[in-house]
Chains A and B, each alone.
Chain A
Amino acid sequence: MVLTAARRVVRSLVVVLLVTLGSVALLSLAPGSAASVILGENATPQAIAALNSQLGLDQPLWQQYLHWLGGAVTGDLGTSPVTHEPVVDALLQRLPVTLELAVMALAISLVTSVVLAIVSATWQGTWVDRAITAFSSVLLSVPAFIAGPLLIYFFSLQLGWFPVSGWSRIDTDGLAANLQSALLPAVAIAFTEIAAFHRVLRADLISTLREDFIGAARAKGMSRTYVMVRHALRPSSFSLITLAGINLGRLIGGTVVVETLFSLPGLGQLIISSIISRDLIAVQGIVVFVVVVYVVVNMLVDLSYNWLDPRVRKVAAA
């Protein structure tokens, strides 16, 4: 078991190295080099060459990469040539907004989909199940950039329950205002995930409910609800957890969309404004940060099977 876990960690590490190498290579291949962005359009070739050597962009790729990696592991992702601010500072300043959105969206989609899946599986094949399944295939086809404007139109403009855009900070505006400004964007991202999670969990629950231990528990006189929640849910949750890890990628993409739409000061807005100002060092820093988080989360998801299901532990040990 320790060996499997170690192998998984090494594999993730190699992937992180490959991905960061790719990001650094992409930056140095960019047609408009970082130097011409810093110095402006009218810079002389000599000035560009001088700045390139100062930034280390004239060195071979592997040297650039080692230099970058040395900085990255000590928490230095470079300084933005546009804002003259360290990329890590800008990143950490924006991170809480994106994190709150992502966590909220994930919580909304997990809770909703678990409830819907339990209802579907309990009354499988009936009109309730068919209605929920149809609803979920509709939700699956509503990406954040459609859900967002629709939610704004109905809940902010028609009903006036939520602000149209903008972010309320938790420390200055209070928790209620903060949640109010985060709820619509989080729901907009959650739509597709609710549908995806419901599908997977419903199928897994239905196959678990056919197993003998469920029949045994029911025969002992345990209630349907108790058996569903205490016996069936845990062994059925593996695909759900795997999918939640994988779909975190789509969720992060969703935060970029809603942060732009609702003008929220998060990482997504930072990456868009950095792309527009051609601030490649900032773009690179954010991309690398997001990718590393994503890889690490998925690694932890894989490792969590050992903890979730004793059967996996035995198989791995044997």
Chain B
Amino acid sequence: MTTAEQSSRTMAAPLVPPVRTPRSVLVAFAYVWLAVVIVAAIFAGVLPLAPYDIAVGPPRQPPQLGSLDLLLGTDRLGRSLLVRCVYGAQVSLVVGAVAGLAGSVIGTALGMTAGYLGRRADAVIRLLADAMLAFPPLILLLALAAVLTPSVPTILVGLTLLVVPTFIRLARANTLSWSAREFVTAARNMGAGHRRILFREILPNLLPSQAAYLPVVMAALIVAEGSLSFLGMGIPPPTPSWGGMISDAKDSIGDSPHMVFVPAAVIFLTVFALNQAGDHLRHRFDRTLHE
């Protein structure tokens, strides 16, 4: 819901839409926060911070000024919450980005095949997507966790599986509408093969809408990984993860609530920022929203 859309409504639907208004404060904030998290995660090793697995002070210290390591307080083993949040960002971002990208590549490839070839390929791929969507997300991850030992690679596999069907549907729908366009017919008449049409004519038009979905998908993946770690079925300790930090601290929430609030705030801000960024990008690049 951008401000442009709202102002157009109050003015009783003018024929020409008003010029796009500048971004909102929230969207700007979202991009700044994402930049901070990404920079912190990339340069975690270079920053003047203690290691994530040793105690930097007494346990359960509340947030305090003075030392950078103690800025957000310490957990029940005296480890710095700030440091663990920074290293947890590495896990969350890697998991979100890798699974999101892998899922979007696989899903887009399958969806394009289905939309372009139609008939039997379409029927088979749609059935596959339906079957994958039949698993509630967390239940699929738990079923995999029951069979495979939890580790970063196995969690990546599970999260990728979650994303694939969404991108199949998106790519299939967009491929159907693009392949009916004149320039595709023109290319075919000039003797272009399937591969050329798919990669040179259709794919470039799909990319903006597929990419605009990535932030929202990443937010969902970070939540999924957080839930899994919260349940103790995610990234195994001592590697810090945001969900694991909350799970670790939840029993002492009465005495040291900051141990829950700090990682909770980090997850909330990151998911919120990704959702805002995603809405912003979708409004700009997703044609299906405007038609």
Interface centre among B136, B230, B253, B267 (most CB of A within 10 A): B136
A272 within 8 A of B: yes
Contact between A253 and B147 (Cβ–Cβ < 8 Å)?
no
Contact between B134 and A141 (Cβ–Cβ < 8 Å)?
no
Contact flag A26-B231 (CB < 8 Å), given A124-B6, A152-B253:
no
Contact between A257 and B127 (Cβ–Cβ < 8 Å)?
no
Partner of A146, one of B9, B143, B232, B267: B267
Q: Which of B62-70, B192-200, B271-279 contacts A (4 or more CB under 8 A)?
A: B271-279
Say what secondary structure dominates the interface of chain B. helix
Tally chain A residues at the interface, Cβ within 8 Å: 58
State the Cβ distance, A235 to closest chain B Cβ, in Å.
Answer: 19
In the assembly, what is the distance between CA of A14 and CA of B260, in Å? Answer: 44
Contact between A287 and B139 (Cβ–Cβ < 8 Å)?
yes
Interface residues on B, range: 35 or more
B76 within 8 A of A: no
In the assembly, what is the distance between CA of A276 and CA of B198, in Å? Answer: 46
Contact between B134 and A275 (Cβ–Cβ < 8 Å)?
no
Q: Which of B50-58, B114-122, B219-227 contacts A (4 or more CB under 8 A)?
A: B219-227
Contact flag A11-B219 (CB < 8 Å), given A138-B272, A252-B139, A275-B233:
no
Chain B positions within 8 Å of A, measured between CB atoms, are: 1, 6-7, 9-10, 13, 26, 127, 130-131, 134-139, 142-148, 219, 223, 226-227, 230-233, 243, 246-247, 250, 253-254, 257, 260, 264, 267-268, 271-272, 275-276, 279
Contact flag A140-B131 (CB < 8 Å), given A29-B147, A145-B230, A253-B138:
no
State the Cβ distance, B64 to closest chain A Cβ, in Å.
Answer: 20
In the assembly, what is the distance between CA of A124 and CA of B268, in Å? Answer: 27
Residues of A within 8 A of B142 (CB): 256, 271-272, 275, 283, 287
Residues of B within 8 A of A130 (CB): 6
In the assembly, what is the distance between CA of A300 and CA of B284, in Å? Answer: 35
Contact between A272 and B147 (Cβ–Cβ < 8 Å)?
no
A38 within 8 A of B: no
A30 within 8 A of B: yes
Chain A positions within 8 Å of B, measured between CB atoms, are: 11, 14-16, 18-19, 22-23, 26-27, 29-31, 124-125, 129-130, 133-134, 137-138, 140-146, 149-150, 152-153, 157, 206, 210, 248-250, 252-254, 256-257, 260-261, 271-272, 274-275, 278, 280, 283-284, 287, 290-291, 294-295
State the Cβ distance, A3 to closest chain B Cβ, in Å.
Answer: 17
In the assembly, what is the distance between CA of A246 and CA of B78, in Å? Answer: 43
Residue of B nearest to A203 (CB): B1
State the Cβ distance, A148 to closest chain B Cβ, in Å.
Answer: 8
Contact between A145 and B9 (Cβ–Cβ < 8 Å)?
no
In the assembly, what is the distance between CA of A225 and CA of B230, in Å? Answer: 44
- What are 7 sample pairs from A and B whose C-beta atoms fall under 8 A apart? A133-B1, A137-B279, A141-B268, A146-B268, A153-B260, A249-B136, A274-B146
Interface centre among B139, B148, B233, B272 (most CB of A within 10 A): B139
Partner of B9, one of A26, A149, A206: A206
Contact between A150 and B138 (Cβ–Cβ < 8 Å)?
no
Contact between A18 and B137 (Cβ–Cβ < 8 Å)?
no
Partner of B131, one of A19, A129, A143, A290: A19
Contact between B130 and A15 (Cβ–Cβ < 8 Å)?
yes
